[in-house]
Structure 1
Amino acid sequence: MDLQQYEHLVTQLATEVRRYLIKRGAQPEVAADIVQDVFVKLLEIELVLPPEKLRPYMYRVAWSTYLDQYRRTRRYQLLVRQYLIPTAVTVVRPIDDSDLTAALQKLSAK
């Protein structure tokens, strides 16, 4: 397999992996970013994987990257909810019977 065929295979797999991630619940933009990260990792390892090992590698790396991103986002949202969103504070005043009695006395018997 020459380099051009290998590149074509990688781009086809990238499209497959992107569709796979979207089908599994990833937002389209997130899926595209993850596929880009997989490409970067492929370039960084500086070795050409055989075609039969390329597909499992891309799926495995993409899925683990998506899970890491999902967990990071979920943890961030939890921290925001816990520390940055103010909670409603209810102030309980003691009941003042004198105000109630005065108001009832002003009412007519009717």
Structure 2
Amino acid sequence: MTYVVTENCIRCKFMDCVEVCPVDCFYAGDNFLVINPDECIDCGVCEPECPAEAILPDSDNQATPWMEINAKYAAVWPNITRKGEAPADAEEWKDKPNKAALLSPEPHKG
């Protein structure tokens, strides 16, 4: 089992989850984070840290469509081990639905 970053992270990218991960399994895109399913140890410490409630266990049906996305981008995006600056408009985007089309395939820069 693993944890999965889902749609609610798009354009929020708060990164509170990154600081608590004991195995550094987060990878950063331009406007989204993913968890590498091969590195996640299923400890769950990241889930309650996410202000956008975007992290779910893979056993949750809402996580299913995001499992492949997490695996795909974890293979090409840079690993992130420290919390960075969230986007200036993160709070505005936090609870907006239907953000999947806004997912940028570009890696994090910076």
TM range (shorter): under 0.3
Q: Comparing both chains, which one has the higher relative contact order based on Cα–Cα distances under 8 Å and sequence gaps of 6 or more? A: 2
Structure showing the higher strand proportion among its residues: 2
Rg (Cα) greater in structure: 1
Structure showing the higher helix proportion among its residues: 1
